[in-house]
């Protein structure tokens, strides 16, 4: 078996192989016309048995907001599938190892189909999210909910561009990733394939440098029967968030509003006179992260105050990452000093955006404590205000 990049002429066959691994039929001509833009040259790697393609993997470069607010280069891994009859024979491992070794970005992420797949490849759960259902008929906003600005339906012809522009302006949370020009097209295509018609509501505030009104939030939604599904909601201010909620609650012929994959700390319950109109139906893992160049990844984020700690990182898939790292608020470097805390690449990834505390991972056995005073120090260093969240489905 060999692994190498798939030429442009082979991309559609590679996509069909991937779709087959998810038990989907080959792509139609119409769908390929919509989706081929998301297959950029050089991004697709295949595993071959002789000339025959038996597995595919795609990675796309972008960036991710890290604690402290900087944007670090990121490789997004997706469309990873092994053809029927070739699974569980080491093909996926070989392909993932080759793809990660060729990745120039210091961090990689994935949104997995199943939770049991990616831990062995050094990915750890870095953000989580929750699904909500709002009883729209009983939902009454409190008198304290902020107001201001204006919310209206976007013209469908402008909505993709508006969403892209507003999303980029609003993304500030650790875990938020940059999107590609084809992202909205892909999303609309998926909704249309499911027989859904999506609309975009846009909130406009008054906060441009010249005082002119600028869009500062949007919600993309579709209605099926009497259920309104919110596919995306991104906003920049409490006023834009509240304005979008007012709009959604005002949509006629709707009994319930469903939101999937929202930030864990989004205070939806506090909007309503009766907080029980908001039900949490699931809390799920969201973005899985992996350090590809551990030193560069550790240097990319900011840290809280406190004594530095020495982390011993273990990374069998990318052995160059294994080693000891001194991590402190003013310096991050490799060191020969003994490790105070030992952990896998996957556990480091889980700590990285602040989605879980070192203390909690130590309780679960995912961090080994050699020096007990290093644990509270690591807690202070890795602490972040607010929950990290991705909010982009890839």
| 194 part of the interface to ligand COA, by CB under 6 A | no
Count of residues in contact with ligand COA, rule CB under 6 A: 18
Q: x/- string (CB under 6 A) for ligand COA, residues 21-50?
A: xx----------------------------
Residue 148: burial class (beta carbons within 10 Å; 0-12, 13-18, 19+):
middle
DSSP state of 29: H
Instruction: Determine which residue in the list 30, 88, 276, 336 makes contact with ligand COA, applying CB under 6 A.
Output: 88
Copy the structure tokens of residue 212. Answer: 């002119």
| 365 part of the interface to ligand COA, by CB under 6 A | no
| 368 part of the interface to ligand COA, by CB under 6 A | no
Strands 214-224 and 199-205, sheet pairing: antiparallel
Q: Segment contacting ligand COA (CB under 6 A): 113-121, 147-155, 259-267, 362-370?
A: 113-121
Strands 150-153 and 199-205, sheet pairing: antiparallel
| 112 part of the interface to ligand COA, by CB under 6 A | yes
Tell me the C-alpha distance between 80 and 118, whole Å. Answer: 11
Instruction: Determine which residue in the list 116, 195, 211, 225 makes contact with ligand COA, applying CB under 6 A.
Output: 116
Span 142-181, contacts to ligand COA by CB under 6 A: none
Instruction: Determine which residue in the list 90, 146, 181, 267 makes contact with ligand COA, applying CB under 6 A.
Output: 90
**Cβ proximity of 106 and 139 under 8 Å:** no
Instruction: Determine which residue in the list 87, 185, 237, 335 makes contact with ligand COA, applying CB under 6 A.
Output: 87
Q: What are the angstrom distances between the C-alpha of 11 and each of 32, 45, 97?
A: 10, 10, 21
**Cβ proximity of 264 and 391 under 8 Å:** no
| 117 part of the interface to ligand COA, by CB under 6 A | yes
Give whichever of 110 and 257 is closer to ligand COA, judged by the CB atom.
110
Tell me the C-alpha distance between 158 and 96, whole Å. Answer: 38
Least Å distance, CB 23 to ligand COA, is 9
Q: x/- string (CB under 6 A) for ligand COA, residues 45-84?
A: -----------------------------------xxx--
Q: Which residue's CB comes closest to ligand COA?
A: 92
Tell me the C-alpha distance between 385 and 173, whole Å. Answer: 10
Least Å distance, CB 115 to ligand COA, is 8
Closest CA to 162 of 211, 208, 218, 212: 218
Estimate to the nearest angstrom the gap between the alpha carbon of 80 and the chain centroid. Answer: 16
Tell me the C-alpha distance between 115 and 148, whole Å. Answer: 42
Contact residues: ligand COA, CB under 6 A = 21-22, 80-82, 87-93, 112-114, 116-117, 120
């Amino acid at each position: 078996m060999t692994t190498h990049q798939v030429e442009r002429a082979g991309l559609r066959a590679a996509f069909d192989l991937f779709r087959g691994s998810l038990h989907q039929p080959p792509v139609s001509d119409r769908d390929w016309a919509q989706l081929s833009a998301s297959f950029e040259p050089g991004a697709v790697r295949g595993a071959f048995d002789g000339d025959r393609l038996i597995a595919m993997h795609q990675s796309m470069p972008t960036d991710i907001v890290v604690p402290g607010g900087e944007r670090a280069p990121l490789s997004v891994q997706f469309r990873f599938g092994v053809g029927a009859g070739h699974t569980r024979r080491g093909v996926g491992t070989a392909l993932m190892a080759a793809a990660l070794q060729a990745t120039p970005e210091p961090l990689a992420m994935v949104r997995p189909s199943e939770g049991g797949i990616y831990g062995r490849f050094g990915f750890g759960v870095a953000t989580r999210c929750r699904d909500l259902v709002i009883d729209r008929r009983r939902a009454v906003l409190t008198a304290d909910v902020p107001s201001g600005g204006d919310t209206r339906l976007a013209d469908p012809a402008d909505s993709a561009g508006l969403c892209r522009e507003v999303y980029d302006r609003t993304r500030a949370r650790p875990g938020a990733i940059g999107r590609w020009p084809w992202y909205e097209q892909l999303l609309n295509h998926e909704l249309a394939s499911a027989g859904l018609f999506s609309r975009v509501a846009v909130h406009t505030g008054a906060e441009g440098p010249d005082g002119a009104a600028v869009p500062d939030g949007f919600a993309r939604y579709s209605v099926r029967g009497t259920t309104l599904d919110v596919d995306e909601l991104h906003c920049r201010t409490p006023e834009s968030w509240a304005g979008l909620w007012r709009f959604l609650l005002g949509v006629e012929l709707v009994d319930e509003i469903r939101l999937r994959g929202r930030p864990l700390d989004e205070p939806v319950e506090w909007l309503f006179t009766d907080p029980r109109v908001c039900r949490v139906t699931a809390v799920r893992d969201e973005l899985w992260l992996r350090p590809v160049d551990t030193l560069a990844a550790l240097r990319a984020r900011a840290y809280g105050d406190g004594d530095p700690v020495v982390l011993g990182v273990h990374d069998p898939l990318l052995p160059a990452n294994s080693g000891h790292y001194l991590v402190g608020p003013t310096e991050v470097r490799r060191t020969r000093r003994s490790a105070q805390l030992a952990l896998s690449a996957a556990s480091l990834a889980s700590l990285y955006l602040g989605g879980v505390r070192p203390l909690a991972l130590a309780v679960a056995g995912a961090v080994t404590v050699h020096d007990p005073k290093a644990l509270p120090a690591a807690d202070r260093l890795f602490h972040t205000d607010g929950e990290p969240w991705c909010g982009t489905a890839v």
